[in-house]
């Protein structure tokens, strides 16, 4: 049974066992576009990806299932080379700040201004710390197909834009550390903003 068949079974729960890690070839491929309309299988996959993020952010569920908390997940991390991602970003109170499942997402415009996270980035598919700033666009305009087969265009900035770009990188075979300056990991590029 392949990863997709397994994950879309009724009552299946995605855990860390389903996630593939650095060194796996799939993580370096350019993932395949999905067809419009989205097939029922891929709609289920998107929902399962979002449920994983919810579980991972729920302390009880995360402990029970031994999940690392995550704000985003891309299908290639589940060994499924398709252009699908899920994002779930909580605010300070733990309420949902941004939640979306995206099919064939594409950045159609972006700021010149760059931004990065103060403590760098990590990845559920990378089981080691790779220190350094990962520069991202501060603002992005993203076009994608949503759960209802509607074409959407949204603007994201700061933390939400960073998460989107991290996930979109997964669809293009790029890992966060590819974007860290090897010679000087904490180099501050001119005009780059640093976010807490």
Binding site for ligand N9Y (CB under 6 A): 68-74, 77, 90, 121-125, 162-163, 166-167, 170
Q: How many other C-beta atoms can be found within 10 angstroms of the C-beta atom of residue 189?
A: 10
- Rounded Cα distance, 94 and 24, in Å: 33
Using the rule CB under 5 A, is 86 a contact of Ni ion? no
Q: How far is the CB of 190 from ligand N9Y (least distance, A)?
A: 23
- What is each CA distance from 194 to 124, 155, 186, in whole angstroms? 22, 20, 11
Q: How far is the CB of 170 from Ni ion (least distance, A)?
A: 6
Using the rule CB under 5 A, is 171 a contact of Ni ion? no
Q: Which among ligand N9Y, Ni ion, none contacts residue 122 (Cβ within 5 to 8 A by kind)?
A: ligand N9Y
Using the rule CB under 5 A, is 80 a contact of Ni ion? no
Q: Which of 129, 125, 133 is nearest to 170 (CA)?
A: 125
Please confirm, yes or no, whether 35 is among the known catalytic residues.
no
Q: How far is the CB of 37 from Ni ion (least distance, A)?
A: 28
Residue 172 half-sphere exposure toward CB, CA atoms < 13 A: 13
Write the binding mask 118 to 137 for Ni ion: x where contact by CB under 5 A, - elsewhere: -----x--------------
Q: Which residues are catalytic?
A: 167
């Amino acid at each position: 049974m392949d990863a997709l068949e397994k994950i879309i079974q009724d009552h299946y729960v995605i855990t860390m066992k389903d996630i593939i890690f650095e060194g796996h070839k799939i993580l370096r491929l350019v993932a395949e576009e999905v067809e419009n309309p989205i097939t029922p299988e891929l709609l289920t996959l998107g929902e399962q990806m979002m449920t994983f993020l919810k579980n991972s952010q729920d302390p009880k569920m995360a402990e029970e299932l031994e999940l690392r908390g995550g704000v985003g997940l891309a299908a290639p991390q589940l060994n499924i080379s398709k252009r699908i991602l899920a994002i779930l970003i909580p605010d300070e109170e733990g309420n949902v700040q941004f939640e979306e499942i995206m099919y064939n997402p594409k950045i159609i415009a972006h700021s010149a201004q760059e931004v990065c996270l103060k403590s760098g980035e990590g990845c559920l598919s990378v089981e080691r710390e790779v220190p350094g700033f990962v520069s991202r666009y501060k603002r992005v305009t993203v076009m994608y197909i949503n759960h209802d087969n509607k074409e959407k265009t949204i603007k994201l900035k700061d933390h939400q834009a960073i998460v989107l770009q991290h996930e979109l990188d997964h669809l293009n075979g790029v890992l966060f550390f590819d974007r860290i300056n090897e010679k000087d990991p904490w180099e501050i590029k001119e005009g780059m903003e640093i976010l807490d």
